[in-house]
Amino acid sequence: MIGMQNLPQFKNPKNVRMRASVLLEPFGHGGPAVLIDTSPDFRRQALQFFPQKNPRLDAILITHTHADHIHGLDDIRPFNFYQKQTLPLYAEPHYLEQIEIKFSYIFMPTQEGGGKPKLGLHPVEKEAFFLTECADPLLHKIKITPLPLIHGGISCMGYRLRNIAYLTDCSYISDETIAKMKGLDLLILDCLRPKPHTTHLHVDLALDYARRIGAKKTVFTHMSHELEYETFKKSLPRGMVPAFDGMKFRFE
Ligand SMILES: [Zn+2]
Ligand SMILES: [Zn+2]
C-alpha cells in the first residue's frame, strides 16, 4: 500500500506537518514555558522539541476548542507529575466550559489510575493579564494580551507576549485587534490554502493582514498540503515565510 508519506512533496521534511501550536519561553530555552494549544500531536511535539534535560511546562493558553487544538490535553500529565504542580490553563469562559465537557473525567472525582491532568481553569477576557497563577514567580510579571479573532461563526483567541503574536484559526481580524499588534518582531499567522475558505485565512487575505499588521517578520502556519513549503516560500515577499515543524526563533 502506498501511504501519503510516499508522495513526492513529503520527501522534504518541511512538508510533513503536525498540528499547529507554539511554545514560548520568555526567559530562554529551558526556562519557564508557556504553551499555546495542546494539539493532538502534543505528546510527540513535547518529546521532539522540548529540552531533553528537565523539560517543563508552566502555563497553557487555549485559542479555541476545535479538536486539532486541544485533543492532546491529557498528555500534560507528566509535567504535573514531575513539577508537582497544578497547571494554569487560560481560555475564553465559553471555551473553559467546553473543556469541562470534553474532558469531564479530569474534573470528576473518578479513579486516578495513571493520573489525570491537574488543571486550574482561568477565564480570558478582552483585557491584558499577567500569568500570576503560575507556580514560578518569574512568570508573574509576564503580560499576555488577548487578541480576539473571528473563526467563521465562532471566536478564536490570539495572544501577544512581548513582541510576538500568535494568531491561528481566523477568517477576520478586527481593526481593534490589529491596533493591539503595534511594534511586533514576530507575527505567526493563519494561512490555510490558496483558495478562499469560510473559517480560515487564505494566502491573499493572510498577506493582506500581514502587511497591515506590519511585523518585522511574519510566519504563516496551519497550512494545508496544498501549500508546498519551497514553492510557497519562493512566492512570498521579504520578511514573510512559511512555518515548519520545530521552527525556532530567539530574541534578545
Ligand atoms: Zn479551528
Ligand atoms: Zn485549527
Q: What is the pLDDT of residues 110-123, one digit of tens each?
A: 777 778 999 999 99
Per the model's pLDDT, the better-predicted residue between 139 and 7 turns out to be 139
Q: What is the CATH code of the structural domain delimited by 142-243?
A: 3.60.15.10
Whole-number Å distance, alpha carbon 57 to ligand 1 midpoint, is: 23
Nearest bound ligand to the CA of residue 68 = 2
Nearest bound ligand to the CA of residue 65 = 1
Q: What are phi and psi of 166, to 5 degrees?
A: -115, 115
The vertex-27 CA angle with 182 and 248, nearest 5°, equals 70
Read off the pLDDT band of 215 (50, 70, 90). Answer: very high
pLDDT at 73 over 90: yes
Whole-number Å distance, alpha carbon 69 to ligand 2 midpoint, is: 6
- pLDDT of 10 reads 77
Whole-number Å distance, alpha carbon 137 to ligand 2 midpoint, is: 32
Q: Mean pLDDT over residues 75-79, rounded?
A: 96
* Burial of residue 136 (number of CB atoms within 10 Å: 0-12, 13-18, 19+): middle
Report residue 129 as a C-alpha cell.
Answer: 493579564
Whole-number Å distance, alpha carbon 222 to ligand 2 midpoint, is: 7
Nearest bound ligand to the CA of residue 199 = 1
What percent of the chain lies above the pLDDT cut of 70? 96
Nearest bound ligand to the CA of residue 37 = 2
Whole-number Å distance, alpha carbon 65 to ligand 1 midpoint, is: 7
Per-chain mean pLDDT for the chain: 95
- pLDDT of 109 reads 85
Whole-number Å distance, alpha carbon 188 to ligand 2 midpoint, is: 14
Q: 3-class SS at 105? A: helix
- pLDDT of 4 reads 65
Q: Mean pLDDT over residues 140-153, rounded?
A: 98
In tens, the pLDDT along 82-110 reads: 999 999 999 999 999 999 999 999 999 87
Tell me where in the chain the CATH 3.60.15.10 domain(s) lie: 17-141, 142-243
Q: What are phi and psi of 73, to 5 degrees?
A: -55, -35
The vertex-68 CA angle with 63 and 72, nearest 5°, equals 90
Q: Distances in Å between the alpha carbon of 145 and those of 171, 186, 235, 243?
A: 20, 15, 31, 23
Q: 3-class SS at 60? A: strand
pTM (predicted TM-score): 0.96
Read off the pLDDT band of 43 (50, 70, 90). Answer: very high
The vertex-57 CA angle with 135 and 144, nearest 5°, equals 70
> Which overall architecture, per CATH, does domain 17-141 show?
4-Layer Sandwich (3.60)
Whole-number Å distance, alpha carbon 66 to ligand 2 midpoint, is: 6
Whole-number Å distance, alpha carbon 98 to ligand 1 midpoint, is: 14
